Structure 1
Amino acid sequence: MTNPILVTGGTGHLGRVLTARLRDEGREVRVLSRRPGTGYTGDLLTGAGLDAALDGAGVVVHCASTLGKKDVPAARTLLAAARRAGVPHLVYISIVGIDDFPFAYYRTKKAVEELIAESGIPYTTLRATQFHDLVGTVFSAQRWLPVMLVPAGMRLQPVGLPDVAARLTAIVQGEPAGRVPDLGGPEIKTVTELARMYLAATGSRRPVLPLRLPGKAFRAFREGRHLAPDHADGRMIFAEFLAERTGHAKS
């Protein structure tokens, strides 16, 4: 019988999909959450509950995030507990292109990658492009505006959570491999195109207004440093994601 898998952030968007996928594969999954009643109660900042959650775990999949604010100390606490427990494999989900962007969140993700690589714990790190859910959330946040504002000249390669969960499930079943090939969505589209698809799917007739944004970060976006064209391995396209969310057939 295989040892259980601990998923940090198991109640989040990706964590829920991954947990369901692993259980469908017949794996025993422990969900780590700060909220009692959702699995193994634990705190990645204080370390409370981690030793019990990690006891006997064969793999830890680290999906939890504080959106960068405290990800580094949380990772340090998790790694210290994982070393005590003798965890044989830690899997981390990161973001394509984080080396090239000056965002605080991206710098934090890179710092966590480095902590894991230097921890002495056998590990696998997977970088993925932006999730469909994130793109949809950004568009939804503008629902009260008369127009949809988007950055001009910027392309995205969004990937579906089921595709990310499938790749992580395969990683969990294998041996630690360090940094593995990136995972990108199956298509690259401009943000303008994606915004128009979102508006059509939600029945909105608002115009899309592209704005050319200044700065190093948006120049890097326009240069496509966040894309993985050689690893367009995802299967779910954005239209399918929208169809699932809105109930409208994809075009």
Structure 2
Amino acid sequence: MTTILVTGGTGTLGRLVTERLLADGHEVRVLSRHAQPYAVDLRKGGPGLDVAVAGVDTIVHCASSPGGGDEDAAARLIAAARRAGVRHLVYISIVGIDRVPFGYYKSKLAVERLIEESGLGWTVLRATQFHDLLARLFGILSKPPVMLLPAGVRDQPVEVAEVADRLAELALAAPPGRVEDMGGPEVRTLDSLAHAYLEATGRRRRVVSVPLWGKAYRGFRSGGHLTPRLAVGKGTFEAYLGRRFGDGRGADA
């Protein structure tokens, strides 16, 4: 039986990875800031990290914070993994982080490099945005009467459960390094996805596309975050919305 540590194991992705590994009969430790007995803030470290990693075969690193601190967290995790003799470190990253000069993406790319240079066996999987992320974004943008969207941007959302399945599979295999990216089944304009969200949640909003500026916007507009050749996901955004919102009267995003 393999002992696996899942960082961010209470989050959207980490929780599902944990469930799949447990269902396969593996011993799984969940590391997050508040999950006992392995409550550790990777951005700060501490003796609890060595306790969590001791005796672990594989780490699936799902913990991440758009607010910053990912590089320091990864460095602490890698150091603890080395001390413990961990065999395999699996990391979930984002498609296009080397093509779109967005602050959070730059941090994810830096973490990838730390992992590649760690001396550990490693796997990196890049995925496109989760359906949940778009729903949260649209929930915020649809609060005013007019819903403003960045003009000319497309997206390729993927079902988080499918990414969890892939990560669990990779965690149980030999470390291959960077594996093929994982994209959702459809490349869609952002306004078409927004209209699907509005219909599913029963909201009436005027949708207006607004040109923006800057290198990051140009990167997104050029499709640097997309992987149409690897549209391997099956679950569509409409299927996700149907499960989450049902008859359109339960908007909670």
Please give the TM-score of this superposition, normalised by the length of structure 1. 0.95
Compute the displacement of 1:202 (Å): 0.3
- Equivalent positions of 1:33-48 (< 5 A) are 33-37=32-36, 39-44=37-42, 45-48=44-47
1:207 & 1:19 partners in 2: Cα distance?
40
| Equivalent residue letter for 1:23 | L
2:69 & 2:127 partners in 1: Cα distance?
21
2:67 & 2:133 partners in 1: Cα distance?
16
Q: Paired residue for 1:101?
A: 100
Q: Is the contact made by 1:242 and 1:248 (CA closer than 8 Å) also made in structure 2? A: no
| Equivalent residue letter for 1:107 | K
Instruction: Name the SS of the counterpart of 2:98 in structure 1.
Output: helix
Compute the displacement of 1:68 (Å): 4.9
Q: Paired residue for 2:200?
A: 201
Contiguous gaps of at least 5 residues in structure 1:
none
1:64 & 1:214 partners in 2: Cα distance?
30
Compute the displacement of 1:76 (Å): 0.7
Instruction: Name the SS of the counterpart of 1:217 in structure 2.
Output: helix
Q: Paired residue for 1:119?
A: 118
Matched, 1:212 2:198: no
Compute the displacement of 1:207 (Å): 1.4
* 1:144-175 CA distance string (max 9 Å, x none): 20011111111100001101101101101211
Matched, 1:157 2:159: no
Instruction: Name the SS of the counterpart of 2:91 in structure 1.
Output: strand
Matched, 1:235 2:231: no
The number of residues matched between the two structures is 247
Root mean square deviation, CA, Å: 1.3
Q: Is the contact made by 2:142 and 2:205 (CA closer than 8 Å) also made in structure 1? A: no
Q: Paired residue for 1:181?
A: 180
- Equivalent positions of 1:23-38 (< 5 A) are 23-37=22-36
* 1:94-124 CA distance string (max 9 Å, x none): 0000112222211110000000000100000
Q: Paired residue for 1:74?
A: 73
Compute the displacement of 1:62 (Å): 0.5
* 1:66-86 CA distance string (max 9 Å, x none): 225111111111000000000
Q: Paired residue for 2:57?
A: 58
Compute the displacement of 1:36 (Å): 4.8
Between 1:27-36 and 1:133-142, the stretch displaced more is: 27-36
Percentage identity across aligned positions?
Answer: 55
| Equivalent residue letter for 1:201 | A
* 1:153-201 CA distance string (max 9 Å, x none): 1110000110110110110121101111000001110000000000000
Q: Is the contact made by 1:129 and 1:183 (CA closer than 8 Å) also made in structure 2? A: yes
* 1:184-236 CA distance string (max 9 Å, x none): 00111000000000000000121111111122222221211110111111111
2:120 & 2:85 partners in 1: Cα distance?
8
2:158 & 2:78 partners in 1: Cα distance?
28
| Equivalent residue letter for 2:194 | A
- Equivalent positions of 1:6-21 (< 5 A) are 6-21=5-20
Instruction: Name the SS of the counterpart of 1:114 in structure 2.
Output: helix
Please give the TM-score of this superposition, normalised by the length of structure 2. 0.94
Between 1:46-55 and 1:80-89, the stretch displaced more is: 46-55
2:186 & 2:79 partners in 1: Cα distance?
39
2:144 & 2:169 partners in 1: Cα distance?
42
